[in-house]
Amino acid sequence: MATPAFCPSPRELTLDRLVVSSEGITVVVALARRPVVACPLCGALSRRVHSRYTRTLADLPWHGLPIPLAAQVRRFLCDHRGCRRQIFTERLPETAPSYARRTVRAALALEAIGSAVGGRPGARLAQALGVSGGAWAILERVRRAPDGERATPRVVGVDDWALRRGQRYGTILLDLERHRVIDLVPDREAATLAAWLTAHPSMQCISRDRAGGYAEGARLGAPAAIQIADRFHLVKNLMEALERACTRHHAALQTAAAITYPVPLPKETARQRRSSGLPHHHAGPTKAEQRSTERRAQRLARYERVVTPAAAGMAPSGIAKTMGMDRQTIRGWLAAGQFPERAPPPGRRHRVDPFMADVLERYDAGLENAAALARALDTLRRTRRRTRRRTRRRDGARWGPRPAGVGTPGGAGRAPSPRQTAWLLRNADAEPDDLTSEERAYVAALTTACPALARELPRLCRRLCGLRDQAATGAT
CA 447, CA 2: separation in Å to the nearest integer?
81
What's the domain range around 389? 351-405
417 shares its domain with 393:
no
Name the nearest CA neighbour of 61 among 142, 127, 124.
127
112 and 193 in a common domain = no
Do 14 and 81 fall into the same domain?
yes
**Radius of gyration in angstroms for the set of CA atoms belonging to the chain, rounded to a whole number:** 37
| Cβ(264)–Cβ(407) below 8 Å | yes
Phi/psi for 59 (5° steps) reads -120, -175
pLDDT for the residue 349: 63
> At which of 339, 362, 384 does a domain end?
339
Q: Is residue 166 part of a domain?
A: yes
User: Do residues 122 and 164 both lie within one domain?
Assistant: no
Burial of 83 (0-12, 13-18, 19+ CB in 10 A): middle
Over the stretch 290-347, which tens digit does the pLDDT of each residue have? 888 888 899 899 889 888 888 888 888 888 888 888 888 888 888 777 787 776 665 5
Domain end point (choices 101, 134, 169): 101
In a domain, 216, yes or no: yes
Determine the pLDDT at residue 75: 92
Shared-domain flag, residues 160 and 130: no
Residue 269 lies in a domain: no
- Give a yes or no: residue 393 inside a domain: yes
Side chain identity, residue 374: A
- Segments of the chain scoring below 70 in pLDDT: 1-6, 147-151, 262-284, 343-352, 354, 377-415, 429-430, 456-476
Residues 50 and 83 in one domain: yes
Q: How many of the other CB atoms lie within 10 Å of CB of 216?
A: 16
| Residue 272: inside a domain | no
Same domain, 165 and 96: no
**Which pLDDT value is given to residue 398?**
39
Cβ neighbours, 10 Å, residue 64: 10
DSSP 370-403: HHHHHHHSGGGTT-HHHHHHHHHHHH-----PPP
d(CA 51, CA 163): 53
299 within a domain of the structure (yes/no) = no
Is 379 found in the same domain as 395? yes
Q: Are residues 205 and 239 in the same domain?
A: no
User: What's the pLDDT score for residue 397?
Assistant: 42
Q: Which bin fits 297, alpha (ψ -120 to 50), beta or left (φ > 0)?
A: alpha
**What global pTM score does this model have?**
0.40
Residue 165 sits in the same domain as residue 225? yes
**Using CB atoms within 10 A of its CB, is residue 414 exposed (0-12), middle (13-18) or buried (19+)?**
middle
Domain stop point among 361, 376, 405? 405
Q: What's the confidence (pLDDT) of residue 476?
A: 40
Residue 268 lies in a domain: no
Kindly give, in sequence order, each residue whose CB lies less than 8 Å from that of residue 85, ignoring residues fewer than 6 positions away: 39, 40, 41, 42, 78
Q: Return the C-alpha torsion angle 144, 150, 153, 156, nearest 10.
A: -10
List of residues 6+ apart from 234 with CB closer than 8 A: 464, 467, 468
Q: How many domains does the chain have?
A: 6
Nearest to 475 by CA among 299, 264, 227: 227
Rounded Cα distance between 340 and 332, Å, is 9
Residue 368: closest CA among 350, 391, 341: 391
Residues 8 and 81 in one domain: yes
In 172-203, which positions are buried (b, 16+ CB within 10 angstroms) versus exposed (e)?
ebbbbeeeeebeebeebebebbbebbeeeeeb
Cα–Cα distances in angstroms (integers) from residue 242 to residues 157, 432, 461, in the given order: 26, 17, 10
Give the three-class secondary structure for 407. strand
Tally of CB atoms within 10 A around 332:
12
Same domain, 95 and 38: yes
Residue 24 counted as domain residue: yes
Task: For residue 324, give every residue at least 6 positions away whose Cβ sits within 8 Å of its Cβ, in sequence order, or none.
Answer: none
